[in-house]
Amino acid sequence: MPFEFENIKDLAGEALERVDPDTVKETASDLLGDKAEVLDNVDLDDVKDKLSDLLD
């Protein structure tokens, strides 16, 4: 099966559209524990937009 980068980009883009930034932040906070304050200044909507731009 040949490696098809465009196919992977499409799948990643579709997955990214379904991501709920609040859920990501909450899960990351749970994983980080007492280090979770590093997420306070992260705008996950902005991160999502930038990742989306990379996939275009």
* Mean pLDDT by groups of 10 residues along the chain of 56 residues: 78 87 89 88 87 84
Q: How far, in whole angstroms, is CA 32 from its chain's centroid?
A: 16
Range list of H helices, 1-56 = 5-18, 21-32, 44-55
pLDDT of residue 1: 57
Q: Please give the torsion angle defined by the CA atoms of residues 22, 28, 30 and 36, in that order, rounded to the nearest 10 degrees.
A: -100
pLDDT value at residue 6:
82
